[in-house]
Amino acid sequence: MIETEVPKKNKSSFEKLVKVIRQRNYKKATEYTYLRYNLDFLLFADKPAEKVVTKDIEKYIEYLRKKKVSSSTIQINISSLKMFFEEVLDMNVFEDFRRPAREYKTPKVLNQKEITLLLETASESPRSHLLCALAYFGGLRVGEIIRLKWGQFDLSKKTIKVDSPIPTQNRTVVMDGELQKILKKFEKEVGTEKSSYLFPGKYQGTHLTSRNVERLVGDLAKSAGIKNQVTLFTLRHSRAIHQLAEGKSLEDIREFLGHKSLATTESYLPIRKNLRPQVRQKHIQDALKEIKKKYRY
């Protein structure tokens, strides 16, 4: 729960927000974010929530910008406030509010040499090696990796049935030779049981947390001498770019990554988002040529 005390003038409305969030069974982290951001706003506005107007929201967003809060965090703030005022308090303070455009940053890409260094460093631990291989060779997201159970693998067909936290992203991934090799090495080390997690957590019946996994990958990257921050998403994204460099189509990459829309896959390319369709297509082709030049083996 939030450590900061809720102002007396907002206790009643804030309790309503808590009640709605609890009814929706959000994850603890999501619950904390929604409550924290709304409380921060109420402390800034310094008035009862029921008296808030659009101008108060605009001033707050400007305040966050001056503090150099990231674009993505500002978007989450706005979503949190919209939920509170529209769905909990039934107020229309966002009716005339102009949401700022989201700024996109193209994720960092590791080159082939850096990937090799990272995987070699990770290979000292079968568990670390497999975590990195599932992200790079399998294209799996961190949430998909930590929830993997042995029963999702079909070693005869060389496939993984990926159950994503988002049902529309469920898919079957074909394992390439390198991933199969790393998996077999890990299997010898730990044994298998269909209902058990590949990466069990501290307590029985739990799996590793994404935070622990990302910390582990970050430490591996430092040990490998990679200066940039590295996450499992960096590996997933790097593999997609390397496949494009090898000549795979955007549609192939969409399927590999489990994207529902091709537009999501295109967002991995270093191109502006607000271009006319014809200009955008030219930018996409130019980006693909540049990727082939830079990352082809």
pLDDT value of residue 1: 57
Report in angstroms the alpha-carbon separations of 157 from 80, 153, 224, 241. Answer: 44, 9, 34, 26
pLDDT value of residue 218: 94
pLDDT value of residue 284: 87
In the predicted model, is pLDDT for residue 105 greater than 70? no
pLDDT value of residue 70: 83
pLDDT value of residue 216: 95
pLDDT value of residue 273: 65
Question: Percent of the chain at pLDDT above 90?
Answer: 60
Residue 249's Cα: distance from chain center in Å?
A: 23
Contact indicator for 170, 163 with CB cutoff of 8 Å = yes
Say how far apart CA 297 and CA 292 lie, in whole Å: 9
- The DSSP call for residue 47 is S
* Weakest mean pLDDT among 99-108, 151-160, 172-181: 99-108
Question: End-to-end distance of the chain based on CA atoms, in angstroms?
Answer: 50
Residues 233-285 pLDDT 10s: 999 999 999 999 999 999 999 999 988 888 888 888 877 666 777 888 888 89
Angle at 174 between CA 135 and CA 189, to 5 degrees: 60
Residue 161, burial from CB neighbour count under 10 angstroms (0-12, 13-18, 19+): middle
In the predicted model, is pLDDT for residue 193 greater than 80? no
pTM assigned to the model: 0.68
Say how far apart CA 72 and CA 68 lie, in whole Å: 11
Nearest one of 295, 176, 289 to 241, comparing CA atoms: 295
| 92 DSSP β-pair partners | none
Element (H, E) at 204: none
Residues 55-100 pLDDT 10s: 999 999 999 999 988 888 898 999 999 999 999 999 999 988 888 7
**Mean pLDDT (the chain, rounded):** 89
Contact indicator for 240, 257 with CB cutoff of 8 Å = yes
- Mean pLDDT to the nearest integer, 183-187: 91
Q: What is the dihedral of CA 275, 279, 281, 282, to 10 degrees?
A: -130
